[in-house]
């Protein structure tokens, strides 16, 4: 029996096990939306902006490990997805985006709501397709999900001209998918793995640097096993948080620009740096020539282009992180009796000393709310069990520093692209994927306004997402840079006078709004928000606007050239002198 | 360093743009590019000449391999190979110079493929050195038009130090 392209599309989604999709209708996708009207197994969630739909699909994917799906219309609907797609691309998140397109015959004619979305998204997707024949539709969808979710994951876009979804053909679901030009390397090379085991055994001061690849490959268990077996301290990149338990004794927290003193110091003193599922981003390495100067660098990654892109690598191992770690663990266990404790004792003691010397800290104030205090309280009240989404800027860094992530897929943040407006829609996606979990979006008053319209999506679907707005009346991170490096000239970073009353905004949408202006009000409103199970909650924390994120490595400096809060004034003078 | 890279790709629309976009998006320059179908019409082969240090070229070949539609990438840098390029040159020599132009063309084993009342169109095939030498010699006679195909390259048989970047990476 023949089916329409739109019907085939939905059948394909069912075959892929898709239950929830996000989207926004429009002229050329009406055929698809018409099928969704009666559809029971695939449920579409209407966002209030296409960017929100993509971030929601992205959050859904990050929280669940499944492929996130979104459907939008042509032209502006499609171009609105670009920021979301680029966000997913930079963080290697598997999503499949279906965009409507004008009928095949009109393509290239500047038709109404036409945009060359395949051309526009080519550099920010893992791959994209334009379907030109309805007979190719099922095969294309199959390939798209395969490409998005395998190898180094990433976003895939399928452009669907109106005549394709309106056309009809026999529905044939391809049993298997084989793309001759796409064969990711999953198993690490044996020789390289043996070398890796030797390097680990011989190292006196090793450090593991774990990234998003650990989470994407589902290798948290293996990472913990290796670290504990060979007694190697672990630091995580922003994307790697939760890949190794933050409360584990071997954890040194995050490294890099706003990393901990002990993580950065350990990397700079290490004799072996083991990068696992990382790409040595500039926010992590600082000045690359001065990065890990005494260390041999080993890098394990499924994507060969990540290797030797930013830093020298002494031992590359291309393969799926999980498989490679398993092989390394197995071979390490077969080594002749290693007295790991004795070998590493001095190094681990040294790290303990650095931890005591300069712990991650802030100055509590009993009169004004410190933003770090809010994050700490959220951690305490949720017992570290919540899914934390963030926006971008100071809120993101404090959320990374002061919440300890013990499990993977509980930390959802736009790491690579740094997309303001990511957190709230991502939290909506995460809440749908994990209805039993507490989901917080830690936001700033700037970021939340970038996708605040999604309050409607959360309210209508009764999603109890909590948005903790660290409201300092500024674009805080930019303001921090202006204060430190631009002579306190706060050009266009002051938001307070234009900010709405966030409690009223929430109420206007039918959500709950709560506010804390004093430290003693923080915990009560967090607890109150947890009681609300059928609506989103905005928690407006009026925080100290002067608070800055520390430690901080100025851009272009080496990661051991850190500024700390107590040295702020002194360092500022020094920096100004340098400039 | 100058590299000649050959890229075997699926013969689909948009592939050229994926490949060229990869270069432009990273600020790498393409010096020449030639594309054509292989014996298998489903596959095309591109020959790209580009310049960059070892790290840049390593990234280029890895990134090319990463493109879904790319089947195979070969960097001819470390492979003994034959390179050829063709140029068509329209010259308008003065009457006295005509013989010399014809002689030069013969020395370089070129051919006159068209002649008009005042012009010759010369076809020259060869490696870069030969072609550049010919251009230098013919310049003084007045070049009216000039086109070149860009390089194509093929590995020599028998010398198996072929380093295929996909395997190496």
Buried-exposed string A123-139: b where 16+ CB fall within 10 A, e elsewhere:
ebbbbbbbbeebeebbb
Partners of residue B13 in chain A, C-beta under 8 Å: 130
Closest CB to B59 among A122, A179, A309: A309
Indicate the SS3 state at residue A276. strand
- Using the Cβ of A524 and the Cβ atoms of chain B, whether some distance falls under 8 Å is answered with no
Question: Is residue A162 annotated as part of the catalytic site, yes or no?
Answer: yes
Closest CB to A305 among B25, B63, B68: B63
CA nearest A182 in B: which residue? B68
Partners of residue B169 in chain A, C-beta under 8 Å: 304, 318
Cα separation, A570 vs B160, whole angstroms: 63
Task: Answer whether residue B165 shows pLDDT above 50.
Answer: no
Cα separation, A231 vs A311, whole angstroms: 25
Cα separation, A415 vs A242, whole angstroms: 14
- Using the Cβ of A313 and the Cβ atoms of chain B, whether some distance falls under 8 Å is answered with no
- Using the Cβ of B24 and the Cβ atoms of chain A, whether some distance falls under 8 Å is answered with no
Indicate the SS3 state at residue B34. strand
Closest CB to A181 among B55, B63, B69: B69
Question: Is residue A14 annotated as part of the catalytic site, yes or no?
Answer: no
Contacts of A457 (CB under 8 A, 6+ apart): A45, A46, A47, A48, A52, A56, A425, A428, A463
- Cβ pair B18:A122 closer than 8 A: yes
ipTM of this predicted structure: 0.88
Partners of residue B25 in chain A, C-beta under 8 Å: 123
Residues 28-57 of A with CB under 8 A from B: none
Question: What is the model's pLDDT at position A340?
Answer: 83
- Cβ pair A130:B14 closer than 8 A: yes
Partners of residue A305 in chain B, C-beta under 8 Å: 59, 62-63, 66
- List the one residue out of A165, A169, A36, A60 whose CA is nearest residue A427: A60
Indicate the SS3 state at residue A334. helix
Closest CB to B66 among A130, A179, A305: A305
Mutate to test the interface with B, among A182, A304, A318 (most CBs of B within 10 A): A304
Q: Count Cβ–Cβ pairs < 8 Å, chain A vs chain B.
A: 35
Question: Is residue A50 annotated as part of the catalytic site, yes or no?
Answer: yes
Distance from CA of B8 to the nearest CA of A (A): 10
Partners of residue A318 in chain B, C-beta under 8 Å: 169
Query: What's this model's pTM, rounded to 2 decimal places?
Result: 0.94
Task: Answer whether residue B93 shows pLDDT above 90.
Answer: yes
Question: What is the model's pLDDT at position A571?
Answer: 54
Question: What is the model's pLDDT at position B10?
Answer: 96
Sign of the dihedral defined by the CA atoms of residues A400, A404, A406, A409, in that order: negative
Q: What are phi and psi of B116, to 5 degrees?
A: -120, -175
Contact at 8 Å (CB) between A42 and A98?
A: no
CA nearest B71 in A: which residue? A181
- Using the Cβ of B166 and the Cβ atoms of chain A, whether some distance falls under 8 Å is answered with no
Closest CB to A179 among B18, B65, B68: B68
- List the one residue out of A250, A243, A284 whose CA is nearest residue A267: A284
CA A186 distance to own-chain centroid: 23
Partners of residue A304 in chain B, C-beta under 8 Å: 62, 65-66, 169
In Å, the largest CA–CA distance within chain A is 77
Structure tokens, A366? 């009993």
Question: What is the model's pLDDT at position A1?
Answer: 84
From first to last of the 579 residues of chain A, give the pLDDT tens digit.
899 999 999 999 999 999 999 999 999 999 999 999 999 999 999 999 999 999 999 999 999 999 999 999 999 999 999 999 999 999 999 999 999 999 999 999 999 999 999 999 999 999 999 999 999 999 999 999 999 999 999 999 999 999 999 999 999 999 999 999 999 999 999 999 999 999 999 999 999 999 999 999 999 999 999 999 999 999 999 999 999 999 999 999 999 999 999 999 999 999 999 999 999 999 999 999 999 999 999 999 999 999 999 999 999 999 999 999 999 999 999 987 677 878 899 999 999 999 999 999 999 999 999 999 999 999 999 999 999 999 999 999 999 999 999 999 999 999 999 999 999 999 999 999 999 999 999 999 999 999 999 999 999 999 999 999 999 999 999 999 999 999 999 999 999 999 999 999 999 999 999 999 999 999 999 999 999 999 999 999 999 999 999 999 998 899 999 999 876 555 555 555 544
| CA-to-CA separations, A561 to A264, A540, A553, A569, in angstroms, rounded | 9, 35, 6, 15
What are the start-end ranges of the E strands in A190-332? 206-210, 234-236, 251-254, 272-276, 296-301, 315-318
CA nearest B21 in A: which residue? A123
Residues 81-120 of B with CB under 8 A from A: none
3-state secondary structure A399-466: HHHHCCCCCCCCEECCCCCCCCCCHHHHHHHHHHHCCCCCEEEEEECCHHHHCHHHHHHHHHCCCCCE
- Cβ pair A305:B17 closer than 8 A: no
Contact at 8 Å (CB) between A257 and A283?
A: yes
Structure tokens, A98? 């279906």
Active-site hit among A2, A14, A43, A112: A112
Cα separation, A329 vs A333, whole angstroms: 6
Mutate to test the interface with A, among B46, B66, B167, B168 (most CBs of A within 10 A): B66
Question: Is residue A222 annotated as part of the catalytic site, yes or no?
Answer: no
Cα separation, A201 vs A343, whole angstroms: 9
Structure tokens, B63? 């990134």
Partners of residue B63 in chain A, C-beta under 8 Å: 305
Contact at 8 Å (CB) between A385 and A438?
A: yes
Question: What is the model's pLDDT at position A68?
Answer: 98
| CA-to-CA separations, B62 to A92, A308, A318, A492, A557, in angstroms, rounded | 17, 11, 12, 42, 29
């Amino acid at each position: 029996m023949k089916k329409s392209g739109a019907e085939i599309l939905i059948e394909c989604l069912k075959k892929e096990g898709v239950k929830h999709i996000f989207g926004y209708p429009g002229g050329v996708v009406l055929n698809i939306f018409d099928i969704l009207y009666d559809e029971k197994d695939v449920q579409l969630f209407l966002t209030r902006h296409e960017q929100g739909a993509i971030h929601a699909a992205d959050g859904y994917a990050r929280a669940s490990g499944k492929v996130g799906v979104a459907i939008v219309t042509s032209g502006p609907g499609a171009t609105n997805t670009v920021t979301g797609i680029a966000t997913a691309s930079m963080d290697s998140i598997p999503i499949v985006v279906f965009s409507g397109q004008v009928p095949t015959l009109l393509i290239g004619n500047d038709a109404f709501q036409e945009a060359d979305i395949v051309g526009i998204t080519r550099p920010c997707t893992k791959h994209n397709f334009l379907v030109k024949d309805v007979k190719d539709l099922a095969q294309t969808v199959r390939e798209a999900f395969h490409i998005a979710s395998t190898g180094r994951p990433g976003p895939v876009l399928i452009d669907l001209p109106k005549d394709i979804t309106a056309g009809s053909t026999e529905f044939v679901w391809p049993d298997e998918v084989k793309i001759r030009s796409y064969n990711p390397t999953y198993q690490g090379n044996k020789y390289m793995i043996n070398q890796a085991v030797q390097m680990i055994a011989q190292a006196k001061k090793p450090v593991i640097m774990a990234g998003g690849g650990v989470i994407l490959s589902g290798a948290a268990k293996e990472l913990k096993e290796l670290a504990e077996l060979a007694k190697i301290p672990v630091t995580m990149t922003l994307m790697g948080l939760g890949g190794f338990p933050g409360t584990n004794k071997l954890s040194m927290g995050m490294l890099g620009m706003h990393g901990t003193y002990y993580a950065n110091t350990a990397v700079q003193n290490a004799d072996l740096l083991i990068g696992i599922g990382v790409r040595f981003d500039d926010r992590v390495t600082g000045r690359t020539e001065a990065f890990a100067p005494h260390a041999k660098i080993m890098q394990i990654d499924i994507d060969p282009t990540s290797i030797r892109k930013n830093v020298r690598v002494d031992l590359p191992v291309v393969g799926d992180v999980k498989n490679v770690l398993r092989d390394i663990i197995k071979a390490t266990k077969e080594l002749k009796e290693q007295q790991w404790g004795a070998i590493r004792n001095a190094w681990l003691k040294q790290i303990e000393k650095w931890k005591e010397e300069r712990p991650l800290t802030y100055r509590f104030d009993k009169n004004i709310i410190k933003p770090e205090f809010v994050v700490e309280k959220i951690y305490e009240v949720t017992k570290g069990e919540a899914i934390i989404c963030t926006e971008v800027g100071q809120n993101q860094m404090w959320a990374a520093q002061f919440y300890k992530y013990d499990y993977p897929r509980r930390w959802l943040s736009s790491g690579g692209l740094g997309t303001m407006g990511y957190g709230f829609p991502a939290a909506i996606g995460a809440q749908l994927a994990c209805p039993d979990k507490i989901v917080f979006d830690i936001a700033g008053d700037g970021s939340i306004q970038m996708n605040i319209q999604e309050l409607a999506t959360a309210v209508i679907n009764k999603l109890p997402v909590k948005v903790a707005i660290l409201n300092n009346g500024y674009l805080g991170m930019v303001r921090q840079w202006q204060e430190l490096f631009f002579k306190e000239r706060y050009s266009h970073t002051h938001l307070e006078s234009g900010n709405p009353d966030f409690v009223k905004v929430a109420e206007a949408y039918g959500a709950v709004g709560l506010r804390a202006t004093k430290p003693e009000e923080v915990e009560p409103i967090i607890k109150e928000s947890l009681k609300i199970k059928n609506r989103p909650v905005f928690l407006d924390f009026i925080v100290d606007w002067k608070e800055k994120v520390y430690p901080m490595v100025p851009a272009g400096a080496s990661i051991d050239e850190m500024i700390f809060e107590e040295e702020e004034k002194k360092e500022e003078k020094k920096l100004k002198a340098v400039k | 360093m100058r590299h000649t890279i050959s890229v075997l790709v699926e013969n689909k629309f948009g592939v050229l743009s994926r490949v060229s976009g990869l270069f432009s998006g990273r600020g790498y320059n393409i010096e020449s590019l030639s594309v054509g179908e292989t014996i298998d019409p489903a596959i095309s082969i591109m020959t790209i000449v580009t310049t960059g240090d070892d790290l840049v070229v390593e990234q280029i070949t890895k990134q090319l391999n990463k493109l879904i539609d790319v089947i195979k990438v070969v960097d001819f840098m470390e492979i003994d190979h034959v390179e050829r390029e063709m140029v068509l040159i329209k010259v308008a020599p003065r009457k006295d110079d005509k013989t010399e132009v014809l002689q030069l063309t013969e020395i370089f084993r070129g051919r006159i493929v068209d002649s008009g009342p005042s012009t010759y169109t010369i076809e020259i095939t060869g490696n870069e050195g030969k072609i550049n030498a010919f251009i230098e010699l013919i310049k003084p006679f007045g070049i009216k038009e000039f086109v070149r195909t860009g390089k194509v390259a093929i590995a020599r048989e028998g010398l198996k130090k072929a380093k295929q970047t996909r395997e190496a990476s």
